[in-house]
């Protein structure tokens, strides 16, 4: 994928199908608000390891490798989940993504993880339920600001909602450029 600005912002999600197969999706933009999606990508891959609490990254990271571009232009990765799992920095999925790709990572979780007391609560749209935001490569406060400003009128930013829909096979992303 070639972009004129040099900066690439990516939102990703994974959906598990049957028999150890996952559909993984990425939504790209050239600015961190994702106000204009410049591309989408989806692919089917073998799922990672079986789910284990606290080791979610073993399941999610292998599929994410299939859609996150290895590029020095990668400016931000937004994931559905936590970057770290407690205030001491126990690594979650986002910490492993950050370690592997080197770009700042924002974790946006829809549910509270009991030990993630450090996560910023972000209220979007008219929702009375917060999103739980964690980060690597930037402060949690900066990440919360980015999530607050991401495109979309509802609780979940549009880029994450689209990545989720594509990963579930509910949207092809055909209205945006495909990569």
Q: Residue 178 corresponds to which tokens in the numbers above?
A: 């495909």
Residues 90 and 92: their CA atoms lie apart, in Å, by: 7
Range of the structural domain that residue 134 is part of: 8-167
Q: What is the pLDDT of residue 173?
A: 67
Contact 76, 96 (CB under 8 A): no
Instruction: List the chain pLDDT tens, one digit each, 179 residues.
Output: 333 457 999 999 999 987 789 999 999 999 999 999 999 999 999 877 777 766 777 788 999 999 999 888 999 999 999 999 999 999 999 999 999 999 999 999 999 999 999 999 999 999 999 999 999 999 999 999 999 999 999 999 999 999 999 999 998 765 443 33
Q: What is the pLDDT of residue 142?
A: 98
Contact 61, 93 (CB under 8 A): yes
Looking at residue 162, which CATH number applies to its domain?
A: 3.30.2170.10
In a domain, 3, yes or no: no
Residues 8 and 99: their CA atoms lie apart, in Å, by: 18
In a domain, 172, yes or no: no
In a domain, 1, yes or no: no
In a domain, 99, yes or no: yes
What are the two backbone dihedrals, phi and then psi, of residue 57, each rounded to the nearest 5 degrees? -60, -30
In a domain, 18, yes or no: yes
Q: What is the pLDDT of residue 154?
A: 96
Q: How many domains does the chain have?
A: 1
């Amino acid at each position: 994928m070639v972009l004129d600005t040099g900066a690439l912002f990516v939102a990703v999600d994974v959906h598990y199908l049957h028999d150890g197969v996952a559909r993984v999706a990425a939504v790209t933009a050239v600015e961190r608000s994702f106000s204009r999606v410049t591309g989408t990508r989806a692919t089917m891959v073998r799922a990672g390891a079986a789910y284990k609490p606290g080791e979610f990254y073993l399941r999610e990271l292998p599929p994410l490798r299939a859609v996150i571009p290895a590029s020095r232009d990668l400016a931000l990765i937004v994931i559905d989940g936590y970057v770290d799992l407690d205030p001491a920095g126990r690594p979650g999925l986002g910490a492993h993504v950050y370690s592997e790709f080197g770009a700042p990572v924002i974790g946006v979780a829809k549910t509270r993880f009991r030990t993630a007391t450090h996560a910023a609560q972000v209220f979007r749209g008219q929702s009375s339920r917060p999103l739980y935001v964690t980060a690597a490569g930037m402060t949690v406060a900066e990440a919360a600001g980015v999530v607050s400003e991401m495109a979309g009128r509802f609780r979940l930013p549009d880029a994450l909602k689209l990545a989720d829909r594509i990963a579930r096979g509910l949207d092809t992303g055909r209205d945006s450029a495909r990569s």
